[in-house]
Amino acid sequence: MPVGENFKEAQHQGAIDALRSIGSYRLMSEPKPKLSISSHRWILGYLMKEKAIFLPSLAALFFTAMLSLAFPWFLKELVGNPTDALKTGVDPQVVLAKSNRVVLELVAVLALQAFVAFFRVQGFIRSGESALNRLRRDLFAHLVRLPMPFYQEQRSGALSNRISADLGVVRETLLTTVPQAVRQTVILVGGLIFIFVASWKLSLIMLGSVPFVVLAIAFFGRKVRGFSKAAQDSLAEAGTVIEETVQGIADVKSFTNEPFEATRYDRALESFLGVTMRGAKSRAAFLAFIIFALFGTIAFVTWYGAQMLANGQINGTNFVSFILFSIFVGASLGSFPEIISQFQQTSGATERLRELLDTAPERTDGDAQAKLGGALAFANLSFCYPSRPDVQVLSDLSFEVAPGQRVALVGPSGAGKSTVFSLILGFNDPESGDVLFDGRSASTLALQALRSQIAIVPQEVLLFGGSIRENIEYGKPGATFEEIEAAARQANAHEFITELPEGFETLVGPRGTKLSGGQRQRIAIARAILADPRILLLDEATSALDSESERLVNEALERLMQGRTSLVIAHRLSTVRHADSILVFSHGKIVESGTHEQLIANHGTYRFLVETQLV
Ligand SMILES: Nc1ncnc2c1ncn2[C@@H]1O[C@H](COP(=O)(O)OP(=O)(O)OP(=O)(O)O)[C@@H](O)[C@H]1O
Ligand SMILES: [Mg+2]
């Protein structure tokens, strides 16, 4: 590999790193610090699409929650009126018979509860997971329709980690918190009825403490929520480190940067722990307060009840009933802070997901039936990436390509060559000026129509994790095996494919890593041949192939370019020599153009590039 190639490679990597480092969470705005009703209604909407299962499960939950109040009820029956027993003395035989009966009834109720719960739990999981799948599907379908600038601004790892963290929160809510909230509400309301019946006076005293608890929930809840969002963000950040490391594992190893990545991960985890612990403090303080306030109140009320009992203001049965049901009411009240904090987290998560779903997708307007003739032109086009508005990547660029012509783009790294391809594919829109197909502005054509008639063979071919056949078929979904085979033959790939033990069914490994660079490229070429595009965009590989695979690839490319308009970002002199026209790029402008011979005679940039082996 010439020195120039190495240098370019390093620069390329530098550009990738720079891009990664500027990636930020621009998408995610801060959620409003409150429990948003609308976001819960939105989630409920997803649940209600499964109402055939969700509603019966909900009814079953109501039923079992009410049955759980039977427990204190039977206990009360069992204990009876202790003061009566003290006063009159009760026949042990009668007590025994009664307790046998009560326990049998209790067991029957428990069995019924268990039976219903068995189906209810399954119902909740089925409706919750189905609702989630629907949400996941909607998200994914929307995500792939988002415009390219959206992705150019994101670190892909951050985005997917963020989404899976948010979906995790929603899942927890649907599967655990919603049933929990329903059950506790039923127990709370039912228990309150029982204690009011037992003694309204004692009940009011007990409920006097509730406003304090509510205030505390509001106060601590807000704090905890802020921290939990920050914690989720920093956990997502840590996930990004893993993802980037695994994706670039070859780079990590070759630069022996394992310790560096480990430290980077460690730092992310440390920061996660830091944020979590700051949140944990508020949470712990809150819990301590609740325990003290709750059980303090119960102790006080019991003491007060004992006074009433002594004064004859309440009878023994009611007193026992009050205490037993109070414990249930207290426990259920105590579970609400957790439930509310979970709902608050869900607000944050769903707001971010909704924001994602509300992000405008790519345009779908324009002529969908347009047939490309193959003529292509840039007219006074200027462009800068939205994420870096101050850097003019292309300025006032104009050139024309006639149908069937072969044009080479050359120039130093970062000159804007790949950006030209992005604009042709409609990944990005020009800031001013226009891309013209057969003289028509690209904005009048449907993206779908455009892209289906343009194929790109990228610099670094990344295949999908399936089989070779599937990867070629990607160029034309639904193609017959004969077509796929023919394409492979034309791409000089047939021979190496059939030599593999599993032939076309060979799995290519994650991102195609089980194939060599030259093999991957020929698969990409076969894919492009199958797609049969009118316009072909070729980003020639910078990494040198051995001479035999280079010959095979070049031959395949020659066939592919036959009869199509081809734009080639060229790194090899052999490609450039045969081009009808060469455009020399520098800093987003065309500084020279013409044939190889003309440009060599020019003694300009092109000649310099050729002499320093940069082409
Ligand atoms: N998504 C992006 N966001 C912001 N800036 C970008 C983005 N992609 C590329 N750039 C910048 O635009 C300029 C042109 O990049 P481009 O990829 O078009 O160069 P190139 O000529 O293809 O280089 P190479 O030969 O290394 O592939 C560079 O300065 C680069 O840093
Ligand atoms: Mg490039």
Q: Would you say residue 7 lies in a domain? A: no
The confidence score (pLDDT) of residue 32 equals: 42
The residue whose CA has the least distance to atom 16 of ligand 1 is: 416
Q: Would you say residue 18 lies in a domain? A: no
Cα–Cα distance for residue pair 289/283, rounded to 1 Å: 10
Ligand 1 close to Cβ of residue 414 (< 6 A): yes
SS3 401: strand
**Structure confidence by residue, pLDDT tens digits, 62-77:** 999 999 888 888 888 8
Please report, as a single letter, which amino acid is at residue 382.
S
State which ligand 1 atom lies nearest to the alpha carbon of 459: 27
Ligand 1 close to Cβ of residue 416 (< 6 A): yes
Place of tokens 């720079």: 18
Cα–Cα distance for residue pair 64/61, rounded to 1 Å: 5
Cβ pair 376, 436 in contact under 8 A: yes
Within 10 A of 520 (CB to CB), how many other CB atoms are there?
A: 22
One domain for residues 55 and 162? yes
One domain for residues 437 and 310? no
Ligand 1 close to Cβ of residue 392 (< 6 A): no
State which ligand 1 atom lies nearest to the alpha carbon of 585: 21
> ∠ at Cα 178 (175, 180), nearest 5°?
95
One domain for residues 346 and 380? no
269 closest CA partner among 246, 289, 228, 241: 241
Q: Would you say residue 8 lies in a domain? A: no
Element containing residue 538 per DSSP (H, E): strand 535-539
One domain for residues 329 and 464? no
Q: How many domains does the chain have?
A: 2
DSSP bridge partners of 440: 437
The conformational region for residue 91 under phi > 0 = left, psi -120 to 50 = alpha, else beta, is beta
Span 377-397, average pLDDT: 93
Q: Would you say residue 15 lies in a domain? A: no
Q: Which residue of 26, 413, 568 sits with most ligand 1 atoms within 8 Å of its CB, as the best mutation to test the pocket?
A: 413
Ligand 1 close to Cβ of residue 415 (< 6 A): yes
The confidence score (pLDDT) of residue 464 equals: 84
CATH of the domain at 167: 1.20.1560.10
Ligand 1 close to Cβ of residue 388 (< 6 A): yes
The confidence score (pLDDT) of residue 572 equals: 79
Q: How far away, in angstroms, is 19 Cα from ligand 1 center?
A: 9
Mean pLDDT of the chain: 84
DSSP bridge partners of 394: 383
One domain for residues 106 and 201? yes
The confidence score (pLDDT) of residue 170 equals: 92
**Structure confidence by residue, pLDDT tens digits, 301-310:** 888 888 998 8
The confidence score (pLDDT) of residue 28 equals: 36
Could you list the residue range(s) of the whole structural domain that residue 396 is in?
A: 376-611
Q: Which residue of 385, 422, 590, 609 sits with most ligand 1 atoms within 8 Å of its CB, as the best mutation to test the pocket?
A: 385
One domain for residues 407 and 280? no
One domain for residues 243 and 332? yes
Ligand 1 close to Cβ of residue 387 (< 6 A): yes
Q: Would you say residue 248 lies in a domain? A: yes
More confident residue, 222 or 252: 252
Q: Would you say residue 1 lies in a domain? A: no
The bound ligand whose nearest atom lies closest to the alpha carbon of 542 is: 1
The confidence score (pLDDT) of residue 82 equals: 65
Ligand 1 close to Cβ of residue 15 (< 6 A): yes
Span 166-171, average pLDDT: 91
CATH of the domain at 505: 3.40.50.300
One domain for residues 432 and 322? no
Ligand 1 close to Cβ of residue 417 (< 6 A): yes
318 closest CA partner among 203, 153, 240: 203
The confidence score (pLDDT) of residue 24 equals: 30
SS3 394: strand
One domain for residues 234 and 133? yes
One domain for residues 494 and 346? no
Asked if the model's pLDDT at residue 593 lies above 90, the reply is: yes
One domain for residues 136 and 251? yes
More confident residue, 51 or 517: 51
One domain for residues 483 and 512? yes
pTM for this prediction: 0.75
Q: Which residues contact 94 (CB under 8 A, 6 or more apart)?
A: none
